[in-house]
Amino acid sequence: MRRLYQVQRIAAIALLALLLIHTHFVRHMPLDNPLWKVVDIAFLFTIVLHGLIGAYSVLAGGRASPGTGARWPPPWS
């Protein structure tokens, strides 16, 4: 579970970077550029990876982070 937690955090950072690159390409590059397609496919793959790991984490126990007793929903809700 700890490895998936790390992969999800790395995927989140990659999503931010790919979002900026994707936005730049959409505004300044022609859509027939092959580099644009590579960035778009990488962006889509990272979105799916991040979402699936998040869904698995919730369904497998819902821990907020490894090693803590934090669970969802929090006790005050």
pTM of the predicted structure, to 2 decimals: 0.71
What integer pLDDT is reported at residue 32 of this predicted model?
A: 85
pLDDT single digits (tens) 17-65: 999 998 988 888 888 888 888 989 999 999 999 999 888 888 877 655 5
C-alpha span between 34 and 68 (Å, rounded)? 44
pLDDT single digits (tens) 3-20: 888 888 999 999 999 999
pLDDT bucket at 76, cuts 50 / 70 / 90: low
- The answer, yes or no, to whether residue 75 has pLDDT greater than 80, is no
